[in-house]
Structures are given as C-alpha cells and as structure tokens.
Amino acid sequence: MSAAAIILAAGEGARARGIVPKQIAPLAGRRVLDWSKRLFCEDSRFDQVIVVTTKEIVAILANDTQFATVTLAEGGASRTASVKKGLDAITRPEPAYVFIHDAARPGVDAECLDALFEALENHAAAAPALPVSDALKRQSEGALANVDRTDLYRVQTPQAFHLSTIREALNNTGNDLVDDLAAVEMQGAGVALTKGSARYNKITYPEDFEIMDALFAATPNIRIGKGFDVHAFEPGDHVTLCGIQIEHTARLKGHSDADVAWHALTDAILGALALGDIGDHFPPSDEKWRGADSGVFLKAAVDMATDRGFSISNCDLTLICEEPKVKPHRKAMRLRTADVTDLPIDAISVKATTTEGLGFTGRREGIAAEAVVTLSSLRSRD
Ligand code: MG
C-alpha cells in the first residue's frame, strides 16, 4: 500500500542549542528534521514526503538539494491547521495511507513504520504508544490526588491513517485538537496502538537533546567488508580497472569485463552485508553477464547496502601487479568509482603495489585486487 508522509516542523519550539527553532538544531551530525525526512524518503512505501514548516525554514530548505524531492508547505496557526495544509499538498494519484509525524521525534525507525503499516490493514488509524510508567498525581488547590495509571498511554508519532478517514474526520473538527488521532476517535473509527519506544520521544526541552544524543550514539552500527579477486592475463591490448580502460600488452580474462578492482570492491560490500559473493548474484554461467560492465555489479551492491539502511563510509582498494602502472590512472579510477557508488572522492582510495617479482603477479600472469569497505547504518537501531 502506498503512503504519503507529512512531517510537521511548523512549531516555534523551545530555544535549544542556541538555535530557534529546534527542528533545525543539530543532532548526531544532522539537523533534527533531517532524521525523519531521511527515514520516509528512503522507504519505498512512501510516494510523497511533505514537510510543513515555517516560512523561514521553507526558504532554507527550498535551496537544499537534499530536499529536492520533498514537498514543502507553510504551516498554519495551530497543529491541526498545519496538518490540513499538509493534506492539501498531497498530489494525485492519492495514496491509501498518510503518516503524520512530528519532526521533533528524530528517533523513529523502520520497525515503527512496519508496525503501523500492519495495523492499518485492520484499523482506520494507528500510532505508537508507551504505557505510562510514572505515578500520576493531580494537583488541585494545593491538594494532591492519585490518578490511576492503568490503561493510560503516552501516544507518540507518526500517527498513521487511511487518507480518506483522516480527511473526513478533520473536515468535521475545529483546529485545536490535541493530536490527529483525536479527530478519528471522535468519528468512532477503530484506532490501534503499536509498540512505542523511548527513542520516539519528542524533543521538547534543551536537556532532551542530551538524552537523544546518548540514544543515537549508544548503538552505532558499523560493518566492515573485505574483498579479494584475481584475473589472469590473456592476449589483448587493454585492461579495465575501476571502469577505466588502460592500454596494455594483454587483457584480463573473464566472463564480464574482468574489472578485478571493482569485483573486489563489490565483494567487500556484499561481505559487509553478509550477502554472499559476486558469483552468487551475477553467476558467470549466466549469458546475461557476458562482457558486462562491472559497474553494474558495483552499483547493485551499493543499492543492496542502501536498501538495508547502510551507507558506505569509505573504501580502500589495493591493486597487486607489476604492470600496467596504476599510478598515472589512479585519479581517474577514483573519480569513476565515486561516480558509480555516489560517494565523495575523498572516501575512495586506490593504491597499487607489486610483489617484488614473486608469485603469479610477479611473473606478470595476472592482476590481484583487495578491497576493504566500511558501512555504517544511516541511523542507529535498537
Ligand atoms: Mg572477478
């Protein structure tokens, strides 16, 4: 089922980290808003991501290439008014569902979205919630009264709806609702509560940043992968290394273009993901890959990493051969690899060494390549 996401970032917010509003204050290397934006934009179930924010932030984001695919809308005078503006910004063909999320909850993860999608199969609306664990008191005219916390929940976001249900519900309400579920509840529609988390808490006070920093930093997910490949020489006039054709007195033998460097790099990425090796995904027995550009294999491995929530931090390639000389082509090889992997050039290292005349590379019988990559999760996970 397709969905739209509306990220609410229209509040003025408390002063936090010297920056008003808090939705663009820094958190764990990004702005608070960027975390939610990234979560929804990288989830293929969402056709459209809408950020409803202040005029000033719209002006900032309109020039930000990271937000090029995001619909920007100016907020209204209240939360409900901003939600209505977000709903008005949904484009046709309309999705079945809409997820309405506070930008000030940067810790929401794919697991939370999965549970909400599942709940929407049988309910008109759903939201993550946590049982209240503190004792509750009501203070009135100096006297304290105990409040029974049984069955009480703290409701978080995103709050997820069948689009038609929330539209109809909001058409029949004013603009001063406590949250979006309230509108649907007033219609008597079925609402499900899914598993909430302290990670989904809202940043309200400056000290909340410290708690969120600790949560984000506590569970970094770093992977390392290593790849190794060898191709033998056969008669020919050039070799292909990192997508660059280099004149030589022989060529590398292989089913594809025999780009030994990119094969090692592809295997390193697959290794970090524990997804087998290049032969599993692109078998040499498959005619489809005869003479193939190995950039296709490399790009596919990068996409597999991205699909699993990882980004490549850096890669380090070492070519082992007596000839051809790699050094004059190193920059072109790095640039071409940066192009295919969509990484900055300073994240890509290409080195070369010989084996001092020893072994098969020393006898000029072929080229070996080694690669190491590090992947990190785009966001930390529980
Ligand atoms: Mg190979």
Cβ neighbours of residue 288 under 8 Å, at least 6 residues apart? none
CA gap 73, 53 in Å, rounded? 6
Residues linked to residue 309 through DSSP beta bridges, in sequence order:
none
Q: How many angstroms is it from 266 CA to the middle of ligand 1? A: 10
Q: How many angstroms is it from 104 CA to the middle of ligand 1? A: 47
CA gap 195, 215 in Å, rounded? 18
pLDDT tens track of the chain, all 382 residues?
A: 799 999 999 876 554 555 567 888 878 767 899 999 999 998 999 999 999 999 999 999 999 888 999 999 999 988 899 999 999 999 999 999 999 999 999 999 999 999 999 999 999 999 999 999 899 999 988 889 999 988 899 999 999 999 999 999 988 877 677 788 888 888 888 899 999 999 999 998 888 888 888 887 766 678 999 999 999 999 999 999 999 999 999 999 998 999 999 999 999 999 999 999 999 999 888 888 888 999 999 999 999 998 777 889 999 999 999 999 999 999 999 999 999 999 999 999 999 999 999 999 999 999 999 999 999 874 443 3
- Tell me what pLDDT residue 189 has: 82
Q: How many angstroms is it from 257 CA to the middle of ligand 1? A: 9
Q: How many angstroms is it from 305 CA to the middle of ligand 1? A: 20
Q: How many angstroms is it from 263 CA to the middle of ligand 1? A: 5
Q: How many angstroms is it from 371 CA to the middle of ligand 1? A: 12
Torsion angle in degrees (nearest 10) through CA of 126, 130, 131, 137: -110
Residues 51 and 71 sit within 8 Å (Cβ to Cβ)? yes
Torsion angle in degrees (nearest 10) through CA of 138, 139, 145, 147: 10
- Tell me what pLDDT residue 381 has: 38
CA gap 197, 155 in Å, rounded? 10
Cβ neighbours of residue 252 under 8 Å, at least 6 residues apart? 231, 232, 233, 234, 236, 239, 240, 258, 259, 260, 366, 367
Q: How many angstroms is it from 232 CA to the middle of ligand 1? A: 10
- Tell me what pLDDT residue 269 has: 98
- Tell me what pLDDT residue 25 has: 83
Q: How many angstroms is it from 39 CA to the middle of ligand 1? A: 35
Measuring CA to CA, which residue among 372, 376, 298, 307 is closest to residue 339? Answer: 298
CA gap 60, 153 in Å, rounded? 36
CA gap 83, 10 in Å, rounded? 10
